[in-house]
A and B are shown apart, each in its own frame.
Chain A
Amino acid sequence: GAGVSQSPSNKVTEKGKDVELRCDPISGHTALYWYRQSLGQGLEFLIYFQGNSAPDKSGLPSDRFSAERTGGSVSTLTIQRTQQEDSAVYLCASSLEAGGLIYETQYFGPGTRLLVL
C-alpha cells in the first residue's frame, strides 16, 4: 500500500473489555513497531517485530498486552481487560529491510485513538 494504515481510527470501550488494534505496514517492510502515546507525551515503545517474530517485547506494560503478526504483514495489538490508563494513541510503524540490513527510518501510520471509559 501507499503507507502504513491502522484501524480503527478511534475506539471507545468500557473498562474491562478487550480491544484489538490492527496495523497494515507498507508492503515489503519486514520490520514493524508498536508505540503508545499518552496525551501530550512522547512515544513509548511497546514491541517490535522482525517478520513474524518479536525479538523485543520489553515495552509491553503488562501481561494484558499482547501482539502478533502473521504472514510477515498485518499485526494486531490486543489489550485485554482494558483499564482507563490504557487510554492513548497507539501508533504503528514499519521499516524496510534490504540485504539483511534494516533501514533506520520508520514510517508511521495515523494511529488509533483509544478511550477507555
Chain B
Amino acid sequence: SQQGEEDPQALSIQEGENATMNCSYKTSINNLQWYRQNSGRGLVHLILIRSNEREKHSGRLRVTLDTSKKSSSLLITASRAADTASYFCATDQGAQKLVFGQGTRLTINP
C-alpha cells in the first residue's frame, strides 16, 4: 500500500499565486522527500526534510513536517509556468527504500 498520499490530486492556479500541496503518511519515518516529475519521465529531487526538522526552505520552496500528524506540506511561492509538473512525496522505509504517493498534478496558468 502507498505510504504517502498527496492532496489534492490536481491543482490549477494562476501564475504568480502560491501553490500548496499536502502529503500524509502512515508509519514512522526517518525523512520525507519531495520530488517533481515533468511529462511522466524522470523525477527530480527537490528537498529532503528529516524527522527532527519542522520546516525547510529552498529558493521558492517551503516544506513543513508535522510528525505528530504524520503530514507534510510543500509550498511553492510566486508560481511560474515552468512549475507545471507532478509533485510526489516519498518516505523512507528502511534499507533505502522510498515509498511514493500518487502525486499532485500542478498546472500553472499564464
Contacts and interface: CB of A to CB of B under 8 A. Distances in A.
Task: Kindly state the interface size class of chain A when it binds its partner.
Answer: 20 to 34
Task: Kindly state the interface size class of chain B when it binds its partner.
Answer: 20 to 34
B31 A108 contact: no
A25 interface: no
Nearest to B99: A45
Contacts of A56: 95, 97
A109 B95 CA distance: 20
Interface in B53-110: 88, 90, 92, 95-103
Contacts, number: 66
B42 A91 contact: yes
A39 B92 CA distance: 23
Contacts of A45: 97-100
Interface of B: 2, 4, 30-31, 33, 35, 40-45, 48, 88, 90, 92, 95-103
Interface of A: 4, 31, 33, 35, 37, 39, 41-45, 48, 50, 55-56, 58, 89, 91, 93, 95, 102, 104-111
